[in-house]
């Protein structure tokens, strides 16, 4: 453990709150400034009656010219493939080869642009290797403007009180007091730890939410769902004037959305980005997902709904036609909400969120979440873990009042429809689905070697 982390965990909680706020001030300086204000004004005043593609092409060319000048990897790649800039159409983007994650890992230094990009982030992948990315301060502020503009359209303005369910390690493992949150005062943000989501702790979480009175919730949706289910089970209502709930990091199923909206009495508006820096997608008041076309381009890739992304706000570590591992259903439809960017029909989850069936091939998370549809709301949560090609365990939390023995057979039948009769399926009723080390609760878990 680093010395500064050891000092944090050994400090009294009021000192931890002070240190959290000190770090919050640093984040505030990175995320907010003149460029943020400029971008917010542009987004608010933008004429959205015009076709977005001309602006997207201009942004793409500016990004590619910057990258060709400042990024060693792309300077060489463009030379080798005779990439001539500027492009005259968006279709020419396809002349640039797909970027795989392993290429980015193995050549991480060569992807770092020779510019001032002081904001660093790390992300992990399916191999567990850490991948470092860098952001210019201007890019961070532009991304922040788009995210805040999305929330502003739903009535939540920067500076309002919010409670964020986070996978950051806020508390010591052996902390005794049920104070599983820390205060980030510069951003008016209550950081709520998702590592203590046990039924005996929920009353403390609920009491703190009532005390803090957030105007929005954001962060890991599976953690918020745990508390929401507890509230519904015990007929608890919060005394909070919530404007909206903004989940991040995970796929939000319709069932999760329903539970959150019923328990917290506030609408859920989804959003998409990534710690690597992907184009931003957000949900409008008509419940349509819109690509913020100023931030990048999303293209279909392969046959399973996978996409590749080109993100204009990643000049520190540029991502061009990057195979990020996510699945989406793209659409040609339009929306009457006033936003003129492309509509995304659905965000279908991570590329790794699937079960491999010998008979059916890949069965994705979005399909697996539907297996309880034949039941009368008698299952609270599901998780499928694959141990081998023909062996999975289906864990489920039964509702004590509604679940009947015959419902197990229904679950088994639905699983066999999805995965085929060759699959060995073990049903395992549980009181709680175990969290992963990062605090998330997975719907699909791959343990196959």
Q: How far is Cα 18 from Cα 65, in angstroms, rounded to an integer?
A: 43
Does the residue 51 lie in any domain? no
Contact of 220 with 202, CB cutoff 8 Å = no
**Using CA of residue 35, residue 38, residue 42, residue 44, what is the dihedral sign?**
positive
Length of the chain: 449
Task: Calculate mean pLDDT across residues 410-416.
Answer: 90
Task: Calculate mean pLDDT across residues 276-282.
Answer: 91
Give pLDDT, residue 4: 75
- A 10 A CB-CB count for 336 gives 8
DSSP state letter for 130: E
Does the residue 83 lie in any domain? no
Q: How many DSSP H helices and E strands does the chain contain?
A: 13, 21
Q: How far is CA 251 from the centre of its chain?
A: 7
Q: Give bridge partners of residue 182 from the DSSP assignment.
A: 191
Does the residue 303 lie in any domain? no
Range of the domain at 362: 354-446
pLDDT surpassing 70 at residue 261 = yes
**pLDDT tier at 271, thresholds 50, 70, 90:** very high
Contact of 80 with 54, CB cutoff 8 Å = no
Contact of 83 with 96, CB cutoff 8 Å = yes
Output the pTM of the full model: 0.81
pLDDT surpassing 90 at residue 262 = yes
**pLDDT tier at 392, thresholds 50, 70, 90:** very high
CATH number at 362 reads 3.30.300.30
Give pLDDT, residue 128: 34
How many domains is the chain built from? 1
Write the pLDDT tens digit of every residue in 199-248. 889 999 999 999 999 999 999 888 899 899 999 999 999 999 899 999 98
Write the pLDDT tens digit of every residue in 318-356. 999 999 888 899 999 989 888 888 999 998 876 557 788
As a three-state string, the secondary structure of 135-180 is ECHHHHHHHHHHHHHHHHCCCCCCCCCEEEEECCCCCCCCCCCCCC
pLDDT surpassing 80 at residue 175 = no
Give pLDDT, residue 375: 78
DSSP state letter for 433: P
Average pLDDT, the chain: 88
Percentage helix, strand, coil for the chain under 3-state DSSP, each rounded to 5: 35, 25, 40
What are the Cα distances from residue 162, in Å, to 48, 169, 191, 280, 412?
30, 19, 9, 21, 41
Q: How far is Cα 368 from Cα 59, in angstroms, rounded to an integer?
A: 38
Task: Calculate mean pLDDT across residues 89-101.
Answer: 96
CA angle 340, 156, 239 (to 5 degrees): 140
Range among 87-96, 129-138, 167-176, 223-232 rated most confident: 87-96
pLDDT: which is higher, 250 or 310: 310
Nearest by Cα to 56 from 91, 94, 82: 91
Give pLDDT, residue 3: 65
pLDDT surpassing 70 at residue 129 = no
Q: How far is Cα 186 from Cα 195, in angstroms, rounded to an integer?
A: 24
**Residue 81 has which token pair?**
């493939």
pLDDT: which is higher, 400 or 212: 212
Task: Calculate mean pLDDT across residues 98-122.
Answer: 87
CB burial of 47-58 (b: ≥16 within 10 Å; e: otherwise) equals: eeeeebeeebbe
Does the residue 186 lie in any domain? no
Contact of 353 with 444, CB cutoff 8 Å = yes
Beta strand segments in 319-406, E: 319-322, 326-330, 343-350, 354-357, 361-364, 379-388, 391-398
Q: Give bridge partners of residue 362 from the DSSP assignment.
A: 356
Q: How far is Cα 428 from Cα 435, in angstroms, rounded to an integer?
A: 16
Q: Give Cβ neighbours of residue 85 (< 8 Å, ≥ 6 apart).
A: 61, 64, 65, 68, 78
**Residue 76 has which token pair?**
């060489």
Give pLDDT, residue 400: 86
Contact of 369 with 255, CB cutoff 8 Å = yes
Give pLDDT, residue 436: 78
- Stretch among 181-185, 297-301, 421-425 having the lowest mean pLDDT: 421-425
């Amino acid at each position: 453990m680093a010395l500064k982390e050891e000092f944090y965990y050994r400090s009294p909680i009021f000192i931890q709150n002070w240190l959290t706020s000190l770090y919050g001030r640093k984040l505030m300086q990175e995320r907010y400034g003149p460029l943020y204000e400029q971008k917010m004004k542009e987004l608010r005043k933008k004429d959205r009656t015009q076709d977005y593609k001309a602006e997207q092409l201009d942004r793409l060319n500016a990004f590619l010219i910057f990258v060709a000048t400042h990024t060693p990897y792309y300077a060489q790649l463009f030379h080798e493939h005779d990439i001539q800039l500027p492009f005259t159409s968006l279709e020419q983007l396809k002349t640039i080869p797909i970027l795989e994650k392993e290429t980015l890992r193995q050549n991480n230094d060569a992807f770092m642009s020779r510019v001032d990009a002081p904001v660093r982030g790390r992300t992990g992948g399916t191999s567990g290797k850490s991948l470092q990315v860098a952001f210019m301060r201007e890019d961070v502020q532009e991304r922040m403007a788009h995210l805040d503009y999305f929330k502003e359209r739903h009535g939540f303005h920067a500076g309002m009180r919010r409670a964020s369910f986070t996978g950051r390690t806020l508390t010591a493992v052996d902390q005794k007091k049920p104070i599983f949150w820390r205060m980030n005062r510069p951003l008016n943000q209550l950081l709520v730890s998702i590592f203590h989501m046990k039924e005996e702790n929920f009353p403390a979480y609920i009491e703190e939410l009532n005390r803090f009175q957030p105007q929005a919730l954001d962060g890991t949706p599976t953690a918020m769902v745990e508390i929401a289910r507890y509230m519904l089970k015990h007929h608890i209502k919060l005394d909070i004037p919530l404007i909206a709930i903004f989940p991040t990091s995970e796929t939000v199923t319709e069932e999760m959305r329903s539970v959150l909206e019923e328990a917290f009495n506030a609408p859920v508006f989804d959003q998409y980005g990534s710690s690597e820096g992907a184009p931003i997608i957000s949900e409008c008041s008509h419940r349509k997902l819109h690509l913020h076309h100023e931030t990048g381009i999303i293209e279909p890739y392969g046959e399973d709904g996978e996409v590749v992304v080109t993100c204009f706000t990643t000049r520190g570590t540029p991502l061009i036609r990057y195979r990020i591992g996510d699945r989406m259903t793209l659409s040609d439809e339009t929306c009457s909400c006033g936003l003129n960017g492309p509509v995304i029909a659905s965000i279908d989850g991570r590329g790794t969120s699937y079960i491999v069936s010998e008979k059916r091939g890949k069965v994705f998370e979005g399909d697996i979440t539907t297996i309880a549809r034949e039941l009368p709301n008698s299952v609270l949560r599901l998780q499928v873990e694959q141990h081998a090609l023909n062996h999975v365990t289906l864990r489920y939390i039964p509702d004590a009042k509604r679940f009947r023995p015959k419902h197990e057979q229904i679950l088994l039948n639905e699983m066999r429809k999805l995965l085929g009769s060759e699959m060995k399926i073990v049903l395992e009723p549980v009181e709680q689905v175990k969290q992963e080390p990062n605090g998330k609760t997975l719907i699909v878990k791959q343990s196959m070697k």
